[in-house]
Structures are given as structure tokens and as C-alpha cells.
Amino acid sequence: DPTVAIVGRPNVGKSTIFNRIAGERISIVEDTPGVTRDRIYAHGEWLGHNFNLIDTGGIEVSDQPFIQQITAQAEVAIDEADVIIFMVNGRQGITDADERVAQLLYKADKPVVVAVNKIDNFESRADVYDFYALGFGDPYPISGAHGLGLGDLLDEVIKNFPEVPDPAPDDSIRFSLIGRPNVGKSSLVNAILGDQRVIVSEVAGTTRDAIDTKFVHDGQEFTIVDTAGIRKRGKVYEKTEKYSVMRAMKAIDDSNVVLVVLNAEEGIREQDKRVAGYAHEAGKGIIIVVNKWDTLKKDNYTQQQFEAQIRMEFKYLDYAPIIFVSAKTKQRLQQLPALIERVNDNHEKRISSSTLNEVILDAVAMTPTPTIKTRKLRIYYATQVAVAPPTIVIFVNDPELLHFSYKRYLENQIRKNFDFTGTPIHIIARSR
């Protein structure tokens, strides 16, 4: 999907617009203590066009002076976006900082749509014309506070989407490596490719910077998503956490299987959990890869202890297999392609309704359905309605009676009967 980035100096209202377009309150407008202003990346949709949305204002290059901040944010937009929304404050006219942003965007050769925010009423509409001077064509008046003008703005944005034909579907398994800086993603990519026959070295994605690498292993084609993003390093903002999280979220969207890479040397950090959480939410196949396994002095319990710690810290990822590797010594790396393939197969697995209902029936026979406030849960029928991830609808007398614990029990029974290693299973209760 194309990517839209919102740029503009602080306080012009970028997060408010981001939230409105994303349709949910995913970034917090005011900084609330204890709440991470984490979400700078979301999905948007307008008139049937899906796109990714980035609020570059969330990328804080701390310790840098103001002008470097907005420069970095404009650069993120230029690097990541297909269309840029340049937001200004309609109550203040063009400021030096706006001009600075404009200068950077002229060089970018990307379509720019000017959104003039804080135009809350008809009288102030005249102020909008001043912004023609920025040189990006018609400015669009909007009101973040009242949600006005967004339709016209988005019409213009989608008009500027690049014409990219859908890539021919292939049987390639797409996987990405995500994780904090320095866990060894880039070393792993090199080590994996080192042994493989790379068939097409580089395939450009929609944006200039997204580059995928394909290789074949045992007759199966694999695509490593966004190898350029994994390898590149240098610009100030690339070292910020929010940027790397955003980049990871984009890669996750684009993958069948996600390798969550941890660093054995440093153990598990908060950022690891956040990144893994996005992969889980996205419903992808997941493998936990513990890299730098060569750096630990090991006894008989080291691996077991590490595994126990992962299971505790990443409770929601209990379906994900864990593999202990070293990009340096290549330990166990040769097992990785087969594991990715297995997880991908499970992620796309389809169970026939008859087999599924046998399993559910047996499960109910072993542990009867609960009775909640004198009402007994009745299960009539189950059917798998989707793959990637496997999604099962269970028809019941009342969905509210299918509590978490019984749902969990059913999921475990399903997992006992079929190999769903590495994939979440979504179970939805419906009343018949």
C-alpha cells in the first residue's frame, strides 16, 4: 500500500489529524505521564484506497535543536512517503519554520499537499490563500478540532498515489527480521544469504527505500522484506526508537512470517516487547530468534532458563517457536529456512469443518462447557473462515458465555490435534 506522511512544525495539529484519519485514538495528543506516545504509524482508508500513515512529528531526535528536528522529520517523509501532507497553521500565516520545511520538500520530487489547519469557521477561510505562496498548489483548509475539510484533503492525496501495478502473485514466502538496533538483524541477513543462491538480488517496492531480496532454498523461494531498511544506518533519525518501530511495522505488514530477533548478550528489553507486540497484533506467523548465542558461557540450563524467561516476558507469543542462533558462528542457521516454511504452512493451514468439529466435540466431552449465572454455554458448530492467521468461528447459544479461559482451552485442544506452531489462531464466537 502507498504511504502518506504528515509533516509540519510542532503544534500545527499533526497528531490530531493523524488520529482522525486513522479513525481511532492511537496517538495521544497531550503527553500523559506513563503513556507512551508510541503510535506514529497507522492504516488509513479513503474511498476504498488503503494506505499507511506516518506522523513524522512523533519522531523525536531529542538532543537536537529545533531546526534539526523538523529537518529530520521532513527527511523521514521524503524517504518513506509516496505522498506528503504538509501541515501549517492557518491562524499564523507562513513562518520561517514552514519555509524551511518547504525548502526541503521542493527538492524531494514527491507530491506534496498543503493542509491549512485550524480553519474552524467560514470567516477565517480567506487566510488560506496566503499559503499558495508555499508553491505546492491549492492549499486545503481543514479543522482538526472539528474534523472539517478532511474529505477534500484525502481526495487530493489519493489522486496523487503512484500507479503501481499489483505485483504478480508468487509462491515466495515473505519474511522480515525485526528487533532493536544491534541485535544482529543485518548480520543475520548476510549470514542467511551467504549460504543461499540469491536469484533476484533486489526488487524495488513502492517507495524508493524498500528493497526486498529473494533466494531459493530446497526449491522454495523466500523473500526477505526490506533488506535495505535492515542494513542502512547513518541518518540521525534512523537511530531513533520510533523510527525503527515504524519501519518494523511496515515490514511486518508486508510479511507472512516475522522473525523477532533478540540479543542473547543483552537479554530482553522493553523495546523488544513492543516490537514483538506489533507482530502479534498483526496476526503474522512468528519465530523468536535469539541471536549472538555464541557470546554466552553455557551450561546445561542456559538455554532452558533463557527460554523460560522469554515465555514469561512474551506470554502472548506462546505459539512462537524459539531458535538459538549465532550469525557469527552460523550455529543453527541452516535450520531457519525449514522452520520459516513450516510456520508459513501453519499460518495458511485450513482444517476441514468435519475434522474441526470432531476435535471440538471431543474437547467438550472431556471438559464440559461452563455454566455462567445459570446459563450453560452451548456449542453448535465450528468452521474455519479464514487463513493467515487461521480464523475459526464457533456458533454458540450466546457469545458472551464463551469466556477467555474456555476459549483458551479450545485453542489448546485444536493445537494438540494440528500443527499450528508459529501462528496465532483467532477464535470468534457467534450466536446461531
Q: Is 56 annotated as a binding residue?
A: yes
- Helix 14-22 crosses helix 150-159 at what angle (to 10 degrees)? 80
Does the protein bind ligand GDP through residue 183 (CB under 6 A)?
yes
Q: Is 11 annotated as a binding residue?
A: yes
- Please pick, from the candidates 64, 160, 187, 417, the single residue that binds ligand GDP as defined by CB under 6 A: 187
Which residues are CB-contacts of 275 (< 8 A; sequence separation ≥ 6)?
A: 178, 179, 180, 245, 248, 260
Does the protein bind ligand GDP through residue 184 (CB under 6 A)?
yes
Q: How far is the CB of 221 from ligand GDP (least distance, A)?
A: 23
Q: How far is the CB of 179 from ligand GDP (least distance, A)?
A: 6
Q: Is 4 annotated as a binding residue?
A: no
Q: How far is the CB of 272 from ligand GDP (least distance, A)?
A: 12
Q: How far is the CB of 429 from ligand GDP (least distance, A)?
A: 40
Q: Give strand pairing partners of 175.
A: 224, 257
Q: Is 93 annotated as a binding residue?
A: no
* Cβ-contact 388, 256 below 8 angstroms: yes
Sole residue written with cell 537511530:
239
Instruction: Tell me, by CB under 6 A, how many residues bind ligand GDP.
Output: 16
Nearest residue (CB) to ligand GDP, 120 versus 209: 209
**Burial group, residue 165, by CB count within 10 angstroms (0-12, 13-18, 19+):** exposed
Q: How far is the CB of 330 from ligand GDP (least distance, A)?
A: 9
Does the protein bind ligand GDP through residue 181 (CB under 6 A)?
yes
Which residues are CB-contacts of 373 (< 8 A; sequence separation ≥ 6)?
A: none
Q: Is 219 annotated as a binding residue?
A: no
Q: Is 323 annotated as a binding residue?
A: no
Site for ligand GDP in 69-88 (CB under 6 A): none
- Please pick, from the candidates 38, 209, 253, 294, the single residue that binds ligand GDP as defined by CB under 6 A: 294
Nearest to 114 by CA among 72, 147, 75, 84: 84
Site for ligand GDP in 88-147 (CB under 6 A): none
Residue 3 DSSP SS3 = strand
Q: Is 357 annotated as a binding residue?
A: no
CA 272, 273, 277 angle in degrees (round to 5)? 120
Please give the Cα distance from 249 to 278 (Å, whole number).
Answer: 7
- Please pick, from the candidates 292, 336, 351, 402, the single residue that binds ligand GDP as defined by CB under 6 A: 292
Please give the Cα distance from 144 to 18 (Å, whole number).
Answer: 9
Please give the Cα distance from 91 to 197 (Å, whole number).
Answer: 59
Q: Is 46 annotated as a binding residue?
A: no
Site for ligand GDP in 223-242 (CB under 6 A): 230
Site for ligand GDP in 310-349 (CB under 6 A): 326-328
Stretch that binds ligand GDP, among 179-187, 299-307, 333-341, 415-423 (CB under 6 A): 179-187
Stretch that binds ligand GDP, among 110-118, 164-172, 178-186, 420-428 (CB under 6 A): 178-186
Q: Is 276 annotated as a binding residue?
A: no
Q: How far is the CB of 294 from ligand GDP (least distance, A)?
A: 5
Q: How far is the CB of 185 from ligand GDP (least distance, A)?
A: 3
Which residues are CB-contacts of 405 (< 8 A; sequence separation ≥ 6)?
A: none
Q: Is 181 annotated as a binding residue?
A: yes
Q: Is 58 annotated as a binding residue?
A: yes
Nearest residue (CB) to ligand GDP, 291 versus 423: 291
Please give the Cα distance from 164 to 242 (Å, whole number).
Answer: 28
Which residues are CB-contacts of 270 (< 8 A; sequence separation ≥ 6)?
A: none
Dihedral angle over CA of 24, 28, 32, 35, nearest 10:
70
- Please pick, from the candidates 64, 124, 160, 186, the single residue that binds ligand GDP as defined by CB under 6 A: 186
- Please pick, from the candidates 27, 71, 256, 291, the single residue that binds ligand GDP as defined by CB under 6 A: 291
Grid cell, residue 110, equals 514527491
Rg (CA), the chain: 24
Stretch that binds ligand GDP, among 48-56, 113-121, 183-191, 407-415 (CB under 6 A): 183-191
Please give the Cα distance from 52 to 401 (Å, whole number).
Answer: 37
**Composition of the chain by helix, strand, coil, percent to 5:** 40, 25, 40
Rounded to an integer, what is the distance from CA 175 to the centroid of its chain? 13
> Contact residues for ligand GDP (CB under 6 A)?
179, 181-187, 230, 291-292, 294-295, 326-328
Binding residues for GTP: 8-15, 55-59, 117-120, 179-186, 226-230, 291-294
